[in-house]
Amino acid sequence: MASHRKSRPTGTRVAGIRTPALATAALTSVALLSQSANAAPAADDKPSLEEVEKKVDDLYRQAESATDKYNAAKEKTAKQRKRVDTLLDDVAERTQKLNEAREELGSFASAQYRTGAAAPDTATFLLADTPQDYFDQTQLMDRMTGRQKVAVDDYVTQQSETMKKRQEATESLETLSDSQDGLKTAKATVQRKLADARELISKLTAEEKARLAAIEKEKRAEAARKADELARQQAAQQKAQEEAAQQQDSGSSSSGSGSSTSTAPADSSYATKADKALAFARAQIGKPYVWGAVGPGSYDCSGLTQAAWKAAGVTLPRTTYDQVNAGTTVPLSQARPGDLVFFYDDVTHVGIYIGNGMMIHAPKPGTYVREESIYYDGESAIHSVVRPA
């Protein structure tokens, strides 16, 4: 007899209660979502906006450091190429003289051949690899006439000098090759760092870019505040110096010496040069930063300071880590317009001080030459201040 019992709905029991299939599916979904939620933090390793900003800044700094190495390698390569060209010209000139000396000796050999005279074997001498050895072995010089001796002396001298210069040229060519390799390596490093920075920025959303801009605005405001504070300190210091000078003048006058001390700065010539350097730098504002550039259409940081002071008649080295040693280091509180302000422990950035805590500099790729607070990257970023003339 067939059973008339209704089939039980499929499902499972939870805590002794029978659950329908729909409830089971729901519980399964909740469990899966719970697992996903728990796993999400581990899977989502996207860096924070602050971390991205720091990474981008670090990459730009590394690119600037590599740019200085590129600039140094470029300068070294140019000098080495000039030396190689000079040596090759010298070798060509000496080779010509050697050929002339060889022709002179050849004329003696021809004369010997025509006359059949048992004269010194000049022809064999000319074919010798090392003429001096040939002299030692045959005592050729003892058997030569006066004109022959003069010709041979000239030939030996020219051959020795030519060989020496050829060796120098060979060594210089090898050094030039090494310099060119270093130049290529530095260039590749700069390009890689900049590409990495651009890639990080490209991954930011519009909202994240807006937040980064807001952070940058806050940093600029803080930098401006610090610049104002430095300007007040420098103004107070200047006032104190002027008052001290006035008191000294008053003391000199009251003593009946009949002379007065000038309050004009002893290094007024520096101020004149600095004015020229600053006038040049201001004229470059708005031109793009391009790594390795020295103007006139674009600059990197040290290219700008070098060009500015060149306009004032002062020659500075090409790189920041050479420029930092090209003058007198002064305290930040005593910085004057025209001084060079260097940044970071590895001295990879430089700007030219214009007073009141401000400078003109070429900041980084993607920016333009501009006026900015010397505290643009925080007080701790400032390395030193150097007076270049």
Q: Of the candidates 320, 310, 329, which has an alpha carbon nearest to the alpha carbon of residue 362?
A: 320
Q: Number of C-alpha atoms within 13 angstroms, CB side, residue 12? A: 9
Please report where in the chains the tokens 């501009």 appear, as a residue: 370
Distance CA 154, CA 260 (A): 72
Give the Å distances, CA to CA, from 2 to 5, 6, 9, 10: 9, 12, 20, 21
Query: Is there a catalytic annotation at residue 301?
Result: yes
The answer to whether 180 and 77 are in contact (CB under 8 A) is yes
Helix, strand and coil in the chain, % to nearest 5: 65, 10, 25
Distance CA 186, CA 162 (A): 36
Question: What b-and-e string marks burial along 337-369, b requiring 16 or more CB atoms within 10 Å of the CB?
Answer: bbbbbbbbeebbbbbbbbbbbbbbbbbbbeeeb
A 10 A CB-CB count for 146 gives 7
Single-letter residue type at 89: D
A 10 A CB-CB count for 75 gives 16
Q: Of the candidates 315, 290, 78, which has an alpha carbon nearest to the alpha carbon of residue 194?
A: 290
Residue of 69, 193, 361, 383 marked active site? 361
The answer to whether 266 and 241 are in contact (CB under 8 A) is no
Distance CA 63, CA 195 (A): 10
Distance CA 117, CA 258 (A): 98
Burial class for 149, CB neighbours closer than 10 Å (0-12, 13-18, 19+): middle
Residue of 61, 273, 336, 349 marked active site? 349
Residue of 59, 109, 169, 301 marked active site? 301
Q: Strand 382-387 relative to strand 370-373: parallel, antiparallel, unpaired?
A: unpaired
Query: Is there a catalytic annotation at residue 4?
Result: no
Residues taking part in catalysis: 301, 349, 361
